[in-house]
Amino acid sequence: MAKLNFGGVDEEVVTREEYPLEKSREFLKKQTIAVIGYGVQGPGQAMNMRDNGFNVIVGQRPGKTYDKAVADGWVPGKTLFGIEDALKKGTIICFLLSDAAQIALWPTVKQYLKKGKTLYFSHGFGITYSKKTGIKPPKNVDVVLVAPKGSGTSLRRLFVEGKGLNSSFAVFQDASGHARETAIAMGIGVGSGYLFETDFYREVTSDLTGERGTLMGAIQGIFAAQYEVLRENGHSPSEAFNETVEELTQSLMPLVAENGMDWMYANCSTTAQRGALDWWKPFHDATKPVFKKLYQSVKSQKEATQSIERNSQPDYREKLEVELAELRESEMWQAGKTVRSLRPERN
C-alpha cells in the first residue's frame, strides 16, 4: 500500500501503481464473477470488469433490466443467466441488488454460498444491519466489499474516458486467508481510481450520512431555499435557476473537482471572493447541527430501520413516484428542464 498525506494526515491507500490491472487479472483468473442485479451498480461494474478481461457473468430476471443487459452485450446462455443459474456458476457472487431486494433474495442466495466462494457487496447495509435484514453469511465463505464513491453510471463513464472513480474496500469475513487480496483485485477490476480501506460499519455509516447530506438531501434543500428566496424577490425562473443550479453544476463544480475550493476562491472576481469568504462560516455554523443530528440518526439505526420498513412496503413504488413527482413538477426543476434543453449542442 502507498502512504499518502491527506491534509496533514497520513493514510495508506492502494493505487494502480502497486497493484496493477495485470496483477488483479492473474489473481482472479480462475474465478467466475457473477454479478447479481443489473440496476444501479451492476451495469458499470460488470461491463468494466468484462472490458478489463475478467470472467464475468450476469444474473438477472427477465424484464426490462434483462433486456438492457442484452443491449449491453451480455449473451443469454453464455454470459447472461437467470439469477439461480448465475449463483450456481459464480465463485465470486457480487450481490448488487438494492438493499430491499437483497433482503428478499437472501434466502435464495444463501443456498448457493458453498465453501470457497466469495460474497461481494458494494454497500455495508445488509451485513451491518443483519439483525434487521437477516443477511448472515455462512462461516466458510469470504465476505468482502468494494464501494465505488459514485453511481454505477459515473463509474462506467469515467472508465470509458480512461479515468477512475475512487472506492473503499473492506473485509468482513476471511475464510480463505486471501479475502483482502480478493477485495483489492476486485476494486482494481471494476475501475477504481484508488482504494482506501474501511469496514462494513464505517462504509454504511458514512454512505448514509453522505446521501442524506451533501450528496443529495442537503444539496436539494439548499437549492430550493436559494431559488425560493430569489423568486420571492422578483427574479425570473431562468435567473433564479441559473444562479442557483446551472452555474454551480456546469461551471464551478467541475473546476472545484479539478483544482480545489481554494483555487476557485483565488480565481473568481474579488467581489465573489469577498462574499464567499465572509459567508461560508455562517453556512457552516447553521448546518453543522443538522449534520450532527443526521449522523446520530444514522448511528442509532433509525435511518436503516426507516429504509427497510418503507422500502419493503408493497406500495413503495407508488409512494416513491408521488415524492419524486413533487420534485420533478416543482417550478425550480421545471425551469431546469427548460434550461437544459437550451444548452448548445457540441459539434
Percent helix / strand / coil, the chain, rounded to 5? 55, 15, 30
CB 45 within 8 A of CB 151: no
Q: How far apart are CA 92 and CA 33, in angstroms?
A: 5
Contact residues for 175 (Cβ-Cβ < 8 A; gap 6+): 115, 139, 140, 141, 142
Catalytic one among 123, 178, 235, 284? 123
Q: Which residue has the cell 431562468?
A: 238
Q: Which amino acid is at 72?
A: D
CB 129 within 8 A of CB 301: yes
Question: Any catalytic annotation for residue 178?
Answer: no
Q: Which three cell numbers stand for residue 335?
A: 425551469
Q: How far apart are CA 103 and CA 123, in angstroms?
A: 13
How far, rounded to the nearest angstrom, does the alpha carbon of residue 61 sit from its chain's CA centroid? 23
Angle between helices 200-212 and 270-299 (to 10 degrees): 130
Structure letter (DSSP) for residue 243: I
Q: How far apart are CA 287 and CA 221, in angstroms?
A: 11
Burial 144-162 (b: 16+ CB within 10 A, else e): bbbbbbbebeebbebbeee
Q: How far apart are CA 154 and CA 166, in angstroms?
A: 11
Instruction: Give me the active site residues, please.
Output: 123
